[in-house]
Structure formats: C-alpha cells, structure tokens
Structure 1
C-alpha cells in the first residue's frame, strides 16, 4: 500500500503542472441535501479531470528512470492526461483507443500531440496492445489506476480538500477502478481519520460494492451506465485493499438520479460536469450519505463530455 509520504512526494512532483482546483458552493444544493455542500472542482483541472495528477506523477517518474516513450489505453480522461504530460515533457506517447472512440475525444488527444492507435472495442483488447507497444519500443505503459504513482497523484486531491476545508466532516468520491478514492482515502485517513470518506457507484456498475460485500475482488459484466468513466469491470489489485481498509461507506445511485444531479449542477450552478462526477452529487441529493447538518465535499472528478450528446443525458421530464 502507498503511504501518506508518497502523496506528499507526489504533490511536490506535480505542483508545476497541475492546478489547485476551486471549491464551489450552492445554497440551494445545501438546502436540498440537508448539509453544507461543497464541490471540489476537478472538472476545471488541466485536461478537464483529476487524471492529470496521477498521470503527471507516473510519467515524470518514468522519465526520471529513463523512459523515452509512453503508452496508455484509454479514449477518455486518462488518455488525454497521459498525452498532455508526455507532450510537456517532450516524450512521444501513443494512446490506444477503441474503434468506436468519439471524434471529440480523439481530437483532444491529438491536440496534446498524442499518437492514436485504434484497437477493438473493449479494454481487454486495448490494454494488452498498449503494453505490447511499450515493450516493443522499450517504453513504459501508464496504467489508468492500479499503480502506486497513479494512486499517490490522485491522493493530492485529498490533501487540497483538507487545506481548503480544514473542518470538513465527509468527502464523497466517485468509484471506478479505485485510483481516485484509494489515493484520497490514504490522504484523509492518515491525516484526519475522523473525516468520513464515502464512495459512490452507479447501481448498474457496482463492482466495488460487490467486492466489498464478498470480501474479495469481484468482476461484473460490461455495463452501459451513462457514467462512462466508471465502467470498470472490477477494482484494482492495489486499490481494493486500501478501500477495504479505510472506506467508511459505499452507496449506489440510479441512472435517473445521476441524470437529475447532472442537470441540477448545469442548470443551477452553471457547471458542465461529467455523469461520472454527478454520481457524488446524486448521492447527496437523494439522501444516501447518512449524514445531516454536516460539512460535505463532493469530488467533481471531471468535465469532459461530448456536448453534442448533452441533451441525451437530461432527465426524461426535462426532455419531454
């Protein structure tokens, strides 16, 4: 497992690249949730998500150790982050994306000078190809979440929250593969263990929920949740033990609840966020946190979504 010192080291290593993101507030959201609500705005981070933190920590470390080429398997936030930091450091990067990757996501990767290779439609196809590419060119594969440098980089979100909200009572975090929440858990629980950390998954993508219930890593079949950044099939080998050790609670939200939270943040707070970020807000809005009259921070993990498809994400009552 990583330790608090690793997160402080990551904070030092990435400070010249990443932004300290703002804390946003909404009186109306606080009233709806019955708590004093704060949103940690990683959607306005460089490359539009928290992923740049872990990617920067990992790629910088790889370059220090002699890497002259990196790869990643992702059409989304991780791929964009790896392409961005590789370009900053002057290291070629190839991002392996699915055959059906959206044009907007590929354009973002290209804007950061990343080379694109299409491969299959599943992560089971993309990941081995990205690993093979790295090995064939004596490069380094940058995993999306199950890596100590990635986890430590994501944990810097937790350190920032404590610095910005030193009397926070609870932090709500979306869960995909577990890189973000395991980093935040380590930062919080090894600094202020009384602060609650609550994870959130979509009801139809509940691999970590099932893994915790079963006491072991449990896989699920492919899911079509609108929270596409949370479509992992199972938690990571490195992330899951941290979640097991430290997590206070894990709650589930429906697709309809995610849509309503997404629409609220856009309409009332004027913030464009991803459905994957909206799960944290949904958990608070629909009274799933088990806390009242507390100071609660929801991590808004990213804001990269295809605006041309935005209307498809609104609640049915809005569309109709």
Structure 2
C-alpha cells in the first residue's frame, strides 16, 4: 500500500487552508440500494474489469508543469474504451449482476458517456441494454450508443424527468436500472482510475477530479484516502452548475435547475445520495471553471499534447491550468474523464478564439 507523507505546508484552496478529513464507512452488509461502497469494493471492481477496461496511460507535459510550477500527472481516461471513464463503472455494475438479473437486460439514463459505456459493456457481457438519452445529446454519443447495440429512448431534459422514465421502463421490462453515478458498483468501478494513477506515479499531494453526478469523484476519493491518505481532493464543476459545491458547503444535497454549459456530461441537477455520503467526508473542496476556460484547456491538449479531450473531460485540468487551485510545488494528479466530442463541435469551439 502506498502512503503520502504529511505536507509541511497544507494546500491553500481559494484562500482557505485545506482541512484533512478521513473517510470512515460502516462496513457491515447493507442492501445494494443503500450500501455505501468502500475501498474494498474498488479492489473487487478492479478484479472484475481486468482484461476488459484499459489501464489508461498517465501523461505529463513540461508546458503544464512550467505554467503551474507543479508536477502534473494526467490520467488519460479519454483513451478508455468507449472514450471515457464511464466504461469502468458500467462494466463493473453489469458484471456484479447474477444470471437471473441479467435475463431481462439493463436500463440506464445518460447524456452520453454512461450511455455508450453501458451499451458497450452490456454487449461484451451478452446483456441487452436500453438507454434514456436527452434529445440534445451530442450526435457522436447517440451514434456510438446505438452502434453498440442499445435501444435509445429520447426525452427532453428541460421538461421531462429521466429518472421517472427509466424507472417505468425498468418496471415494465423487468430490467435492472443502472444509473450513471448514484450506484455502489458504478462508484467502485470509477474508483479504479485513481487507484491506477496513484499506483503508477506514487505519492501525490493533490488529486483533482471532474464532478457531475459524483461517481468519479466519490470513487476517486475512496482510492485516494486509502492509498494517499493525506492528499487533498478537489472536485471541479462548470460554473453554471455548482450544485456539488453548494452541497459540500451546506452539508446536504442541494438541487438546482438544469444548468447550461458546454460540459454536457456534468449537466446534472444534484449529486447522488451514495456519492454525497462519501464526498461530504472525504473531499476537501469543490471549485468551478467557466466554459471559456474549458475551451482554452481543450486547445492546450490539442496543440501541446496532440489529443482530443471533451469539455467535461477538461474540468479538472482547467481548474489547475487557470489557477482556481493553488498547486505550486505540489505533485498533482488530474483525471481527464473523457474524449467523446464530434469533430464539427470540436472545431467550432476551438475556432472561436
């Protein structure tokens, strides 16, 4: 097990001295619907997804290091199967089902990355999948989800409730609902990305993670608290959708109207209950970035590192590269959560300098 030495100068985040918090979770058995996952679940997920999910590379950039006066490690989940970290949680959740539960397939709701990840993971495991997607979901994500063999049911994200639609479909078909983030096996699967990152680079002082519904941040927190217990953990949201930031500061889940941002994978109204049970104890802060900063970060990855990262995937990197988090002299792990963006949209965003 890797351990991180105590920092002599605790990190300063937006003018506040970081407070170290350690996650304590009741390990007694609980129903799957209410069970809060632990690091043991992350290790179990790693065994389940081994050979199916890629162990994505950790990349570095001298330009990023110089600009931040830090040592930056980018965990490139944009190079994961189906183009995003979501494959980890989706595959793990399906693999955890027994044979009877698989018979009538699975149902999910997603703006895109969980949709295609679940569709692909279901196909690999011989399970049928139905995905509820917003009508304005990126065309590339819709095409990929359909291409992996899933049935798509569209809804209007501003007037209809995707959870209600999905619950109805699951009940009608006798299928299992696997939500994109508020699920213990999904959280555990997502935590394997940070587990790999810390195994590969050793001690880190700061872990920065994109935040939408909270699955990746919660899973990452489980791994970081187990492997680098004194590192600071920060989530990053789009400025217009800071429900997680409000929730962490208030100490309870805060719901907001559907936000608008180019970070389509983070357009949620609130974090999940399973996720917040972890975040409130294990995460030090949540900060926000603007759409303009996301575009500039996309440009950085395209021009300097020769790769495509979607807006949502740039959230954590944007916060570090644009100074929302003070990280000078630190070893910083950053999760790049996905790379699923069509070239037309990518070119239009980067062309608007």
Question: TM-score over 0.5 for the alignment?
Answer: yes
Give the whole-Å Cα distance in 1 for the aligned partners of 2:111 and 2:320. Answer: 29
Deviations 1:157-190 (A, max 9, x none): 1210111111222111011010000001011112
Q: As a proportion of its length, which structure holds more helix?
A: 1
Provide runs of 4+ in structure 1 moved above 6 Å.
Answer: none
Give the whole-Å Cα distance in 2 for the aligned partners of 1:309 and 1:286. Answer: 23
- Note the aligned Cα RMSD (angstroms): 1.6
Q: Which protein has greater RCO, CA pairs closer than 8 Å, 6+ apart?
A: 2
Equivalent in the alignment of 1:100: 136
Change (3 A) 1:48 1:123: farther
Counting matched residue pairs gives 317
Give the whole-Å Cα distance in 1 for the aligned partners of 2:278 and 2:238. Answer: 20
CA shift at 1:124, angstroms? 4.6
Within the alignment, does 1:299 sit opposite 2:335 as a pair?
yes
Give the whole-Å Cα distance in 2 for the aligned partners of 1:240 and 1:260. Answer: 30
CA shift at 1:191, angstroms? 2.6
CA contact (8 A) 1:226 1:313 kept: no
Equivalent in the alignment of 1:233: 269
How high is the TM-score relative to the length of structure 1?
0.95
Give the whole-Å Cα distance in 2 for the aligned partners of 1:183 and 1:135. Answer: 28
Give the whole-Å Cα distance in 2 for the aligned partners of 1:298 and 1:269. Answer: 15
Q: Secondary structure at the match of 2:217?
A: helix
CA shift at 1:246, angstroms? 0.8
Please, which of 58, 67, 83 is the counterpart of residue 23 of structure 1? 58
Q: Secondary structure at the match of 1:190?
A: helix
Give the whole-Å Cα distance in 2 for the aligned partners of 1:151 and 1:106. Answer: 23
CA shift at 1:280, angstroms? 1.0
Moved more, 53-62 or 127-136: 127-136
Please, which of 238, 243, 254 is the counterpart of residue 290 of structure 2? 254
How high is the TM-score relative to the length of structure 2?
0.86
Within the alignment, does 1:185 sit opposite 2:221 as a pair?
yes
Equivalent in the alignment of 1:10: 45
Instruction: Give structure 2 stretches of 5+ with no counterpart.
Output: 1-35
Please, which of 79, 95, 100 is the counterpart of residue 60 of structure 1? 95
CA contact (8 A) 2:89 2:188 kept: yes
Equivalent in the alignment of 1:200: 236
